[in-house]
Amino acid sequence: MVDKQTAPELFRPPLGYPEAPYDTLVRAVAERQPERPAIIYHNLSLTYSEVIAMTNSLANGLRALGLGKGDIICLFTFNRPEYTIAFLAASSIGAVISPMNPSYKEREIAYQLENSEASAILVQRELVPMLKSALEGQTFPALRHIIVTGSQVPEALPQAVPFARLLRESSPRRPEPVDIAPDDLLALPYSSGTTGLPRGVMLSHRNLVCNHLQVVTAANLSPVDATLIFLPLYHIYGVLLTGTFLIAGGRQILMERFELDTALALCEQQAVTWFFAVPPIVQTLLNASDEQLARLRTVKYLMSAAAPLAPELAIRLRERTGINVIQAYGLTETSPDTHFSPLDPARIRPASGGLPVYDTEQKIVDIETGERELPVGEDGEIVVRGPQVMLGYWKDPAETARVLRNGWLYTGDIGHIDADGYLYIVDRKKEMIKYKAFSIAPAEIEAVLLEHPAVLDAAVIGVDDPEAGEIPKAFVVLRPGQTATSEELMAFVNSKVAGYKKLQRVEFIEAIPRVPSGKILRRQLKERERARRLT
């Protein structure tokens, strides 16, 4: 039985949420503190009142173009203030934002434009050639408008409307309110497709309002807080960061991509209090010198999410910096957060994804049937329920019915809950290695490999074996100047894991293929392995 003393979070009354459109939460903050800085980007610093004025102008400009309730607007930009402004403007007129990965090539852009039936796309000037090339020779009947960042019409896309012109020519007054219900769609992010074709995830105003407030509360954010956002805004983790800091009245400093020295300098200059990262960034920080890490002195918490974090890395970073290194857990399908670590240093468990956030239920069910609830400590599929759970997959009722049952979301992740209600994520269901009748979590073996002083990075996959079905094989990147043999690494791992989890092969490689959030592209490693067998 989970105890009220050790995990009071599990016994709280409901938080209570406004049944209002998403942008109204930020508008309320702007009324309270119009002159405080909200978004900082290079030399630009926008106050809350400026953010709202720009939001209003853009909302009015979008309306003048004929865009409104239910229209899908793709955002094809790197991290920039226009991103957040577009999100708030879309919310104000009932439109829907579908973020698009700025590293997408023609085929991927075309897929999302077509699948989402986007009415408009906002594109960053530098990405115009890629968009043009994606549009060439194809028709997208729903696509009526292209908006481009900056003030110039690009030669390559003469039909595009410059963002700055839309703002300049439209009133900064709040647009006439539209009838928006809490369950109306607000965002349509696409999953990254590490486990299949990208799917549109339907998130409502209620989903995002609730999850933002759940996280503001879990992190106890207030106007004194500041964060650096280098995690991509096209990913739901980025959407959450930009929104929670606005709703908390804090400051956010946008970076287009992570670069260690710039990030550390900004942390110091801007007195950053929260550092949101993914596991590869934690690893990069650990490779930095003590002098560099000293620049993080105002940071109270470093949060890692989106992929498994080897607890060893969290502990080492905490020892070197004194910063509380914590985890959260969630999925695009849950807006994204369902779990968050307690903030009290005495209650942080570095290996855990945290406790459920407000109004969120968790259970672990057996993997095969998805029905029987498992006791404390046993691994099974993680199932969650709460107001942040998506409406469903876009145009995919079959897949929606598969993962959403009675309001419970079947996450496809394997994990367990400890006696105090903390969640531990072991791995993704689809990535488990089947060795004879046993399941081996690649992430567990990777975490052990990372404890070896010569190992910089590692990925484990199952490779076919006539006797066992699959056996674990590791791809390892060594630290510069370090050496280790396959035998040595296998002995190191095998002395620390149960017999059936024994690592049986090691291959040295230059870099582990990953998506930016840190998830390993195991599919690529498997294809590499298969290709090798065929030659």
Q: Which stretches of the chain bind ligand ATP, using CB under 6 A? A: 191-195, 305-308, 327, 329-332, 353, 411, 413, 425, 428, 517, 519
Closest to ligand ATP by CB, 127 vs 447, is 447
CB of 398 to ligand ATP, least distance (A): 16
Residue 77: C-alpha distances to residues 98, 103, 160, 517 (Å): 12, 9, 15, 17
Closest to ligand ATP by CB, 154 vs 516, is 516
The DSSP secondary structure of 52-119, one letter per residue, reads: HHHHHHHHHHHHHTT--TT-EEEEE-SS-HHHHHHHHHHHHHT-EEEE--TT--HHHHHHHHHHHT-S
Closest to ligand ATP by CB, 134 vs 236, is 236
**Cβ atoms of 213 and 26 closer than 8 Å:** no
CB of 331 to ligand ATP, least distance (A): 4
Whole-number CA gyration radius for the chain: 23
CB of 74 to ligand ATP, least distance (A): 17
Closest to ligand ATP by CB, 7 vs 93, is 7
Closest to ligand ATP by CB, 236 vs 247, is 236
Q: Are strands 161-162 and 185-187 parallel, antiparallel or unpaired?
A: unpaired
CB of 486 to ligand ATP, least distance (A): 27
- Tell me how far apart the alpha carbons of residues 442 and 44 are, in angstroms, rounded to a whole number: 44
Q: Which residues pair with 428 in a beta bridge?
A: 413
Task: State the alpha helices, DSSP H only, in 336-440.
Answer: 397-403
Closest to ligand ATP by CB, 98 vs 170, is 98
Strands (DSSP E) along 341-405, which ranges?
A: 355-356, 361-365, 380-385, 392-393, 404-405
**Cβ atoms of 131 and 146 closer than 8 Å:** yes
CB of 189 to ligand ATP, least distance (A): 8
Give every CB contact of residue 181 below 8 A, 6+ residues apart in sequence: 205
Closest to ligand ATP by CB, 192 vs 262, is 192
CB of 4 to ligand ATP, least distance (A): 25
CB of 379 to ligand ATP, least distance (A): 14
Of 447, 437, 424, 422, nearest to 497 (Cα)? 447
